[in-house]
Amino acid sequence: MLSAAAGIGVQQLTPAPAQTLTVMAAVEDLPTGRTLGPGDVVEVHLPLELMPQGTFTDSTELNGKQLAAPLRKGQLLVDSHLVGPGLLTGAPPGSAAVPLRLADQSSIQLLAPGQLINVVLTGGNGYEQQGSSEVLAEGVPVLWTSAQGGKTGQWLENEASDGLIVVTANPDQASRLAGASTKGKLFFVLVG
């Protein structure tokens, strides 16, 4: 009788096992721009209450997707880590992902997702026509660059993406940036 009471007491004090969910994590450190394949992710089991939104429960969902940011070994993959609609996760309502073709393609090597830039439009041709500069957008975050891993994954072919970056812009900035490269040359200034 005493052992039965002790068993019931232990059972009452022992917490129930937490419900877990199988999610995908990076099997090793993965660079920005990496196109994911079957060997890049591993299944991990975590309690439901620790699960961030946007996680993936099936590795086949990730095949062929491109990383927008680097991942550390064991880091969970979520939709905001991938090139595509998840890049605007957390952006204010009405934000847009705006592609920009920069005049100095080699300068893109200086950019990484998350950096803030001012986008500058420069008119003139540098010879007969006097140039003027105008800041079209201030402090816009970079979402993606054509320099990421030399691959563009699901967005564009490599040749079509040369000199291209994608930034987050509010509606006013987006209207100024859309098609701006047809009015002159676009450059950026890194800001803090």
> Each residue of 52-100: pLDDT tens digit?
888 999 989 899 888 877 889 999 999 888 877 777 878 888 899 999 9
Q: What pLDDT is recorded for position 70?
A: 84
Q: What pLDDT is recorded for position 148?
A: 63
**DSSP for residue 57:** S
Q: What pLDDT is recorded for position 43?
A: 93
Q: What pLDDT is recorded for position 13?
A: 61
Q: What pLDDT is recorded for position 23?
A: 92
Average pLDDT, the chain: 82
Question: What is the full DSSP assignment across 103-160?
Answer: S-GGGGGG--TT-EEEEEEE-S-SSSSPP-EEEEEEEEEEEEETTSTT--TTS--HHH
Closest CA to 112 of 146, 161, 64: 146
**Per-residue tokens: 26:** 């990076």
CB 184 within 8 A of CB 124: yes
* 170 vs 129, residue with greater confidence: 170
Domains of the chain, each with CATH number or no CATH? 2-82 (3.90.1210.10), 87-191 (no CATH)
Closest CA to 162 of 91, 86, 100: 100
> Each residue of 96-125: pLDDT tens digit?
999 999 998 889 999 988 899 999 999 865
**DSSP for residue 16:** P
Q: What whole-number distance in Å separates Cα of residue 61 and Cα of residue 56?
A: 7
> Each residue of 145-188: pLDDT tens digit?
887 644 444 444 445 567 889 999 999 999 999 988 888 899 99
Q: 3-class SS at 19?
A: coil
Q: Which long-range contacts (CB under 8 A, 24 or more apart) does 171-175 make?
A: 171/94, 171/95, 171/96, 173/98, 173/136, 173/137, 173/140, 174/96, 174/98
> Each residue of 17-37: pLDDT tens digit?
678 889 999 999 998 778 899
Q: What pLDDT is recorded for position 150?
A: 44
Location of structure tokens 């803090």: 192
Give the CA angle between residues 138, 100, 128 to the nearest 5°: 90
